Amino acid sequence: MTTPAHSTDAAASPEKLPSYRWAMLGGVWFLYFSFGLTTASIAPLVGRISADLHISYGALGGIMGAWQFVYIFSAIPCGALLKRYGPRRMLLAAVAAIALSGVLRAVATGEISMFLAVAVFGIGGPMMSVGAPTVVALWFESRERPMAIGIYATGAALGEVSALAFTHSIVLPLFGDNWRACLLLYASVIIAAGLVWLLLTAHPASRAMEARLKDEPKRPEGQIMRDLLGLRTVQFILPMSIGIFFFNHGLNNWLPEILHASGMAPAVAGWWASIPTFVGIFASLLIPKFATPRRRVPILIVLFVVAFAASLLLHSPPGAPLGLGLILQGFARGSMTTLAMLILVETPGVGRENAGPASGLFFAAAEIGGVGGPFAIGVLHDLSGGFSMPLIAVSVVCVALILSGLVLVRHPKVKPG
């Protein structure tokens, strides 16, 4: 007779539930779609929010980096909480925080209230960022993880595309140019994603997997962090993540306004700003597939070079060179984080059991760049009166990434300690 524990393990085995694990991935994808929609929701509304709430571009840069600032301090605790409460509860808590952030943005009355509204996202964001890789690590074997991570990453990309492309062309006209109603609509999407996730994880297989994860022996979090920080690859990847997020978040938040400043109408700028995200969707599906462990660091260096070329081409007026720059930006930002995360999670000494804490550590470091990117671009714009100086700063960061990648490639074998 089969024991209940054995039945639980069998019920939760990904190999025995091939269809259900894809349903779980679909649920994570929808959550990440809502995540991307929320992160990009302010970018196409910068001009309106600045005018209505009397906020300078420099202050708006700080506001757009508010959630990343909170993220720095909440990511590691979220990794610890994940091991205690499991991905199901963590992702539901993420939904609550992100939805609250969306609603508070819609009712903000000034600089401080908007800052606090965006900052709340920094509580939900890391819950989702550490929860999603853990779900993939639990339900997908090593050979399928790159594809699974690439798939759910397209959710965030499509969410960003939706905010950038449809805010001015569809959503604002639908609500009579009311940007507050627009933000409320986007908040409702994350609530819908949360309801779908709640239904999916009510399945007995999900409950069994959560129970098995909870029963695994746990080491003190301080010891886990010390062990992770002792890994040589981790020591390289964490500083590198800062530059990656400086590039990604800086351009993600300011690209519509950069294009508008080049002479495009807001709606046209929104569509052009969605080009990198469209390209990033294909890049996030294609590039990880070919990024075998031996190729990952060299491919990452190539992506850094592509990011540098994109930052130079973004100085161009509307036309083919600018379009090429947007395409190159999409290739870079669509895969840099994915490859860096794969290198980190598959490092010996990390593995499935430490995927949550390692992800928390990664994003805690990365969001230093996530804060610095939008803030630096906004401040440099106010100082210089344009976006040329901010784009030069992005280029300098890309050069630093290239150099750091060349150092990392000299240490291709990842060993603990």
- Computed over its alpha carbons, how large is the radius of gyration of the chain? 21
Compute the mean pLDDT over every residue in the chain, rounded to the nearest whole number. Answer: 83
Amino acid 348: pLDDT: 72
Question: How far is Cα 69 from Cα 391, in angstroms, rounded to an integer?
Answer: 22
User: Is-contact 366 84, C-beta < 8 A?
Assistant: no
CA-based angle 148:151:153, to the nearest 5? 110
Task: Say which residue the tokens 């994003």 belong to.
Answer: 363
**Coil, helix or strand for 1?**
coil
Question: How far is Cα 126 from Cα 146, in angstroms, rounded to an integer?
Answer: 20
Tens-digit pLDDT profile for residues 260-282:
888 888 888 888 888 888 888 88
Q: What is the DSSP string of 104-122?
A: HHHT--SHHHHHHHHHHHH
Tell me the C-alpha to C-alpha distance, in Å, between residue 265 and each of 47, 170, 388: 12, 15, 19
User: Residue 79: pLDDT above 90?
Assistant: no
Model pTM score: 0.71
Kindly report the three-state secondary structure assignment for every residue of 296-359.
HHHHHHHHHHHHHHHHHHCCCCCCHHHHHHHHHHHHHHHHHHHHHHHHHHCCCCCCHHHHHHHH
Question: How far is Cα 243 from Cα 266, in angstroms, rounded to an integer?
Answer: 29
User: Residue 109: pLDDT above 80?
Assistant: yes
User: Is-contact 314 325, C-beta < 8 A?
Assistant: yes
Question: How far is Cα 346 from Cα 370, in angstroms, rounded to an integer?
Answer: 24
pLDDT band at 135 (very low <50, low <70, confident <90, very high): confident
Most confident of 57-61, 301-305, 349-353: 301-305
Amino acid 301: pLDDT: 92
Tens-digit pLDDT profile for residues 137-183:
788 776 777 778 778 878 888 898 888 888 988 999 999 999 999 99
Tens-digit pLDDT profile for residues 199-221:
998 888 777 777 776 666 666 66
Amino acid 213: pLDDT: 67
User: 286 or 122: whose pLDDT is higher?
Assistant: 122
CB neighbourhood size of 399 (10 A): 15
Element holding 386 (H helix, E strand) = none
pLDDT band at 190 (very low <50, low <70, confident <90, very high): very high
Amino acid 2: pLDDT: 37
Task: Say which residue the tokens 């140019």 belong to.
Answer: 177
Amino acid 305: pLDDT: 96
Tens-digit pLDDT profile for residues 285-338:
787 777 677 788 888 999 999 999 999 999 988 889 999 999 999 988 878 888
Amino acid 415: pLDDT: 41
Question: How far is Cα 37 from Cα 158, in angstroms, rounded to an integer?
Answer: 8
Question: How far is Cα 153 from Cα 380, in angstroms, rounded to an integer?
Answer: 30
Amino acid 393: pLDDT: 95
